């Protein structure tokens, strides 16, 4: 399984098959530490969340269903 790079402030995803820049289904694996507060009735509320690690496993284009066809491209106006 190859991981997909995350977009940055200067880049974004683009589907190489159809050109989509805006709609993707993203599958992630995350390891988090959460501070959970239980009220007196036992209902949990996450009050703090610290992401220890996160990996994007796959990105699928919502327009053409292409998987593993996503590339990083420069954002318009991004400093090169």
pLDDT at 47: 97
Which parts of the chain have pLDDT scores under 50? none
Which pLDDT score, from 0 to 100, does residue 4 have? 76
Say how far apart CA 22 and CA 62 lie, in whole Å: 9
Which pLDDT does position 68 carry in this prediction? 83
pLDDT of residue 2: 59
The pLDDT value given to residue 78: 67
> Alpha-carbon distance 13 to 59, whole Å?
9
What's the CA gap between 27 and 58, in Å, rounded?
A: 5
CA nearest to 4, candidates 74, 54, 65, 56: 56
């Amino acid at each position: 399984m190859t991981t997909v790079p995350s977009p940055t402030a200067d880049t974004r995803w683009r589907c190489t098959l159809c050109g989509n820049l805006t709609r993707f289904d993203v599958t992630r694996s995350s390891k988090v530490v959460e501070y959970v507060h239980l009220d007196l009735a036992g209902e949990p509320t996450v009050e703090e969340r610290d992401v220890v690690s996160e990996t994007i496993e796959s990105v699928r284009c919502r327009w053409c269903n292409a998987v593993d066809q996503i590339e990083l491209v420069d954002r318009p106006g991004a400093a090169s």
